[in-house]
Amino acid sequence: MLYRCIEQIRRGNSQTVFLCFMILFFLNKLLFSNTPPVTHIDTPSCIDPNTCIQEYTSYLYTIISYFSLNAISWHRLLYWGVTLCIWYVFGRKFFYTSEAMVSFITQISLLMFLDLFFLFFLTCFMFAFVCMSIYCSVYTIASFFKTAPREIKRNWGNFPKHTKRIADKITGHNIDLYKCVLDVSNVVVGESSCLSINLINGKRESYKFKKDDVFMTEVTWTSNNQIIPVVIEPTDLTDTTSIRVSFTCYTAGEYSIKATINSRDFPKTPIFHCAVADKPDPGHSLVDLKSDCLVVGEHEQSSITVLPRDQYDNEAAMLPEKLKLIFLDTEEPAFSSSVERDLTIYLTVLQCGVFRCCIQYDGVVVGSGEFFVIVLTIMNLSRLENDIQNDNPLSITVSISNLESKQTKKKIQCQVTPKQLTFTEYFLIFFPSRFATFRMRPATKIMIDNNSNSVCINDGKQDQMNVLFSLEENRQLFIAYFNKFLLKNLGGSSDFEEKKTHFYQKLKVAVSKNRHGTHYITIDRENLLKNMINHSKDFSPSQWHKKWYVEFKGEEGMDYGGVSRELFGVLSRHIFTPTNDNQFFVYFEGNANPLSHPNPAIDLKQSEQVYILIGRLIGKCLIESACGNPIFLEARLTRSFLAQLLGLRVCATYFATDDKALYRGKIQYMNESNNVEELEQYFVEEELGKDGSVLKTVPLKPGGADILVTQTNKLQYLDLLANYRLCKRVSKQIELVCRGLYELIPDTLLSVFDESEFELLICGITTYDIKEWKDSINICTTDRQVFPNLLSWFWTLAESLPQAGRARIVQFTTGSGQLPPGGFDSLSPRFQIGLSPSSHKLPTAHTCFNQLLLPNHSTYEEFRCMFNLAMKEGAEGFGMV
């Protein structure tokens, strides 16, 4: 078969030649081409090679067109090259005639031409297509970058936020937190510190804060995770390129500063900074003395330690070489002193006496001011210590001089005991007569005058008395015994917290023998006061001392302290809040936020048990607080009422807090006036009826109706007026309350407190909730440009202050640091904040309207400094209307 094919090829049989060519072509495609092979071929049916050339050509064109879709490859070129070489080298040997060879070569050339033509056409077409595609792409991209910014800018507001951020990030206009610059100024307590943030985008250009950007910051005191209020400037961050965060720290320590934008933390945060204490403030620094008198022995070394503080009571650093002890008397005693590195002053005085001293730091007095050093002989000092320990009194002979009558009484026996100062006069040597008695309590003051051998005693209730000593040694012992006994009664300190701790300890010991067991009480909530009186009027002191278990009739409740507190709260609100059915306490007329004061017009026969119950309730509150179950009265009581419960003298200064209407209308004018004679006021007080008519005229002193008030005697008139209006008119009520109180509490224990401290004991400390405060204020200005910024600064400052600082703001604005039982919402009128007409001044307050006016300031730091200055200086800068 093979031989016959070769013979046909040698004879020039065209059909056989083309069949061989096609076999080679398909073998090439099967071996080298990536195109799937043709599995079935329909060969032409003609027999004559001359007539079948056109059909083979057409058929071959179809096959070539199909395979020419593939790109030019090395195996196609190899195939055509090998084919031509084979036919050129061996063709002449196989073909008998030149015509057959020419015919075959012609046909092969035609096939090559067709194949190459279609390859060329396909290559040109692909090249043209690629060029057109490149052109269209370039044109499209160019058009996009030309028109897209204009269209995006025109329709930017309609784009979603995430689309905008993606676009900014691609173009480099988005904020780059890694390139932003953060800088924190030195953090010093009391000064405004600042976190500055310069915003930078991806192109290292300034980034403008967008309207939909969200910036947040947090400053935290790491010691207790307390969040410090901050002020972000400018108020409107839109289009700003830098942000300023101001904050003020009042406590030294480490602070953490964190900032985020769009919920992403700045890479360099949190920043930790240590707030250092301010420079030492001698006025806030402490001298470690238990009282204003230091009793030492002659030639004995004693020590005084200085505790340096800055103006915010942080521990500060003092230079020992700037600390000095100064004797203020004209004649300086012989002494030696040295200051150690721990700020301890070692003092040795070489002579006996009473010396006035102070400690100075860089020329400024340290602590509360002056103090006295009483130097005794070694023998007298030993005697003093033994007598104080064993409560042995001191007995000496003195002379008494009355400052008003200028009369001097000789040979008055003075006795200094742990409870009182007693002055006894003897008639005919054997018959004693009590001349004067002063209770041993802080209200009893001894004023020392080193220019004379005397002291002056004043307890604020009795007439001032001048005590003369025949021997300087007796004066030294009198002062030393008085201060040691007083200090022992106070628990060894004059600080309120330490006095309270000492009081609770003494009271707990006093009631401990009756404290065992529980006393069960069932009270009907309806007509609660009457039920409580009937239930408790026969209680013995021991039953009041016991722990109570309270149940309300018909109610379920386990008394683990809460039910008892509710009973005292409901009772105190019912008693101290005047209503149509309850007039045990009243308010002074014309007061915006009145305080409760005993009703002078009530029928005591029907109300006697109520006032006794009030005293017992106060005593029960103190007992429970001392035993670890604090109970407080929900009441706002007048200072004069509290002072009288402690046995203190009432004077005209109480009008400013108790009867503000009278104070504004009369007392303040008389205090400030230089010509009170024009008022034609006499030493009398008119009792007015409800219709304003004069019911009676009461003389304030014998013959007062004929004594005109002048510049000379106006202070005496004001004190007599206060004594009558605040004290004498309610003396019976006060006496009944004291009877109930001192049945339960020894009066000697309460004598260590003043009226402000006593209020904290029985009413507790008011807490000021900023959120409630914000919800309860009235804005009394229409300004919308300056005031919103000032108001934001005010709340930032209020949040940064402790409760005591907030109390001062409330006190400056309303006249009292205590809020009504209902809190800020119960103030009448409401707490008001407005814009002051002045700028760069201290804030002012109108207490009659509960109104605080804030002046305009350019920066928060200036606002803060002026506000703190106003609070530090007291009422100065706060107008009282």
| Nearest Cα residue to 76 out of 41, 25, 35, 21 | 25
Chain centroid offset of residue 685 CA: 48
Token pair 């025949």 is at which residue?
470
CA distance 557 to 549: 11
Tell me, what DSSP letter sits at residue 748?
Answer: H
* Distance (Å) of CA 90 to CA 21, 83, 94: 15, 11, 7
Question: 73 - beta bridge partners?
Answer: none
Angle between helix 74-94 and helix 98-154 axes, rounded to 10 deg: 170
SS3 at position 275 = strand
Residue matched to tokens 């008011």: 766
Instruction: Give whole-number Cα distances, 258 to 200, 209, 212, 574, in Å.
Output: 18, 18, 20, 50
In angstroms, the CA 637 to CA 641 distance is: 7
Q: Are 217 and 230 in contact (CB under 8 A)?
A: yes
Dmax (CA) for the chain in angstroms is 186
Are 617 and 567 in contact, with CB atoms under 8 Å apart?
Answer: no
% helix, strand, coil for the chain, step of 5: 40, 25, 35
Rounded to whole angstroms, the Cα distance separating 814 from 142 reads: 72
In contact, 849 and 591? CB cutoff 8 Å: no
Exactly one of 124, 352, 848, 865 is catalytic; name it. Answer: 848
Any idea of the CA torsion for 639, 641, 646, 652, to the nearest 10 degrees? Answer: 60
Where b means 16+ CB within 10 Å and e means fewer, 156-167 reads eeeeeeeebbee
> What span, in angstroms and rounded, lies between the C-alpha atoms of 162 and 758?
63
The question of whether 20 is a catalytic residue gets the answer no
Which tokens go with 555?
């109610």
Rg (CA), the chain: 52
Q: How far apart are CA 820 and CA 828, in angstroms?
A: 10
CA 332 to each of CA 325, 353, 361: distance values in angstroms, whole numbers, following the listed order: 12, 11, 20
Residue 625: HSE in the Cβ half-sphere, 13 Å Cα cutoff: 21
647, amino acid identity = G
Quick one: how far is CA 226 from the chain centroid? 8
Q: Report d(CA 679, CA 682) in Å as an integer.
A: 9
Active-site residue list: 848
